[in-house]
Structure 1
Amino acid sequence: MNSDHDGPDRDHQRPAGVSDETVEALGALSKALETTERARGHLYSFHQLTGGADLELGHAVELLRRAGHHRSADRVEKEILGRNVIPGHWTFQIIESYNDTYYEPFKALERSVLNELAEGRDHLYEAEMKEARRTHGHRDHTARPDSPGTPT
């Protein structure tokens, strides 16, 4: 770590012997994983929205019954309430399958490649971009949160 704190910390410095091409490739790999994280978040949104809709559907069934529309309430309850969103699956099962089949293996592989090629150091591409783009000496362009002069 630089004693003057004017540069990235050790965890964000390129290890000796790591090429520009490797840093770029690791950046692309991380970006792909970040996109997968976003996709996974959308799955959780889908899960929560669908679950919320099903709960509201239950409320609609109760209201239909209270209003005397028992036949309609029965149809909604039997045909849609608690229905699978795809054959054999509720949304939680889709998430579990996605996590087991794609997300967890991808996450583990990305970590393994980082360990193998860059001593486990993450975000090297971004750290180097920050160094290239920041204005040295400017209080809002400090290298790290612990740099002297960093606004609190």
Structure 2
Amino acid sequence: MTDDRRAPDSAHARPEGASDELVAAVGRFSEALETVERARGALYEFHQLIGGAHGMLRDVVDELRSAGHGEWAERIRTELLGRNVLPGRWTFQIVEEFDDGYYRLFRDLERGVRDDTMAGRRHVYEAEWKQSLRGPRMAGYDAAP
């Protein structure tokens, strides 16, 4: 009797006729997308950090004014609070432009290549790597849950 947990994962199997070079290239494209996903997370973190800093500036203005430094409070209020971080843009606009442009195109192209060459299967390269490292009847090395 075959243990189904030991069988190769068909959802990640190499499509018929796909060469090693193609599997590696598509895997590399997916890895590049994962890196862009991390960059996107950093961009959202930047967006939230700048927003948080601007929230703090409101308190700074009030505190400086209360401490008798109204001239500094006024400069911060008029020169920095609410200022664009890039010409004409707050961070929400940067995030939206990134998401609607570069990120969407990158994601769509990666998906298109994967759909066309790997039958839509994800992580074929990694699944083959996992399979190559598995030994017979080794606990904790099942092909699938």
Distance 1:138 1:3 in 2: 12
| CA positional deviation for 1:3 | 6.1
1:62 — aligned with what? 62
String of CA shifts for 1:51-93, please: whole Å, max 9, x gaps: 1111111111111122222221111100101110011010111
Distance 2:100 2:130 in 1: 35
2:23 — aligned with what? 23
1:10 — aligned with what? 10
Residue pair 1:136, 1:142 contacting (<8 A) in 2 also: no
Q: What SS does structure 2 have at the residue aligned with 1:5?
A: helix
Residue pair 1:7, 1:131 contacting (<8 A) in 2 also: no
Distance 2:22 2:98 in 1: 29
TM-score of the superposition, structure 1-length normalised? 0.89
1:105 — aligned with what? 105
Instruction: From the superposition, tell whether residues 37 and 119 of structure 1 become closer, same or farther in structure 2 (CA, over 3 Å).
Output: same
Gaps of 5+ in 2: none
String of CA shifts for 1:96-121, please: whole Å, max 9, x gaps: 11111200011011111111111100
| CA positional deviation for 1:10 | 1.6
Distance 1:65 1:85 in 2: 25
String of CA shifts for 1:15-54, please: whole Å, max 9, x gaps: 1111111100101100111111111111011111111111
Residue pair 1:30, 1:110 contacting (<8 A) in 2 also: yes
Residue pair 1:12, 1:123 contacting (<8 A) in 2 also: yes
Distance 2:126 2:40 in 1: 23
Aligned length: 144
2:76 — aligned with what? 76
Distance 2:92 2:37 in 1: 17
1:119 — aligned with what? 119
Q: Does 1:131 align with 2:126?
A: no
Residue pair 1:15, 1:119 contacting (<8 A) in 2 also: yes
Pick 1 or 2: higher relative contact order, CA cutoff 8 A, min separation 6. 2
